[in-house]
Amino acid sequence: MGFFEQPPPAEPPEEPPQPEWIGPPEGTLGGVVPVQLALAATDRVLLAVTDVAVYPNGVGFSLRGFLRQAEGRSMPPIHPFFEAGEDPRTMLRVGALFPDGRRAVSPGGAFPEGDPDPSAPVLVPRGGGGGTRTFVQEWWLWPAPPPGPLVLVTEWPARGVPESRATIEGDLIEEARGRILEVWPSTGPASGGRSGTFLVSLPAREEPPAP
């Protein structure tokens, strides 16, 4: 035995719990919603919603962008959230309209700190990437929407994309809830990548009737 006693092994630090609004719970497979939606389309840009999955506490989906190259012109890599100088008036924006009129909008800026207003939905950007003509950005919408249609909204002024909408029907969301699979009891939401998109939750407002 040596002169000095060995110190006890250090306890691993406890990981602080992630807030529920930041992502889906660990150990849970979301119920897949079998949809692919063209959210916006022009002669140069296509924005599509894919990989929609319903979780006990929210909805995840991917936004995929496709740009058509102009004849004889090269294109820089797509960075949709910052290519317009972080100007929210021209950069890509994404939002969601709940059946009860509540909204979640991503206008651009810094990632929020702390918990948002628990009475208002939030839309959290997660992992993503892109090349010269395509990109994909994952999104997390919290909380789980009430029964009814969920409307996704986008606009991209820098690329000439006006405000455009696509609807995920409520019955498809409800059916997907029945396919949620909890592999093991969750200890909290899964961690995920953060992008530099600022999240703003807005109160309910009356929507104009559809034309």
What does the pLDDT profile of the chain (211 residues) look like in tens digits? 577 777 788 887 777 777 778 889 988 999 999 999 999 999 999 999 999 999 999 999 999 999 887 555 555 555 555 554 556 667 888 999 999 999 998 854 444 555 556 668 999 888 888 777 889 999 999 999 999 999 999 999 888 999 999 999 999 999 999 999 998 876 666 654 443 333 344 444 445 555 4
**Alpha-carbon span 120 to 102, nearest angstrom:** 7
What DSSP character marks residue 174?
H
Model's pTM, two decimal places? 0.77
User: Which domains can be identified in the chain, with CATH numbers?
Assistant: 20-182+192-202 (2.60.40)
Structure tokens at 122: 């939030």
Partners of 156 in the β-ladder: 161
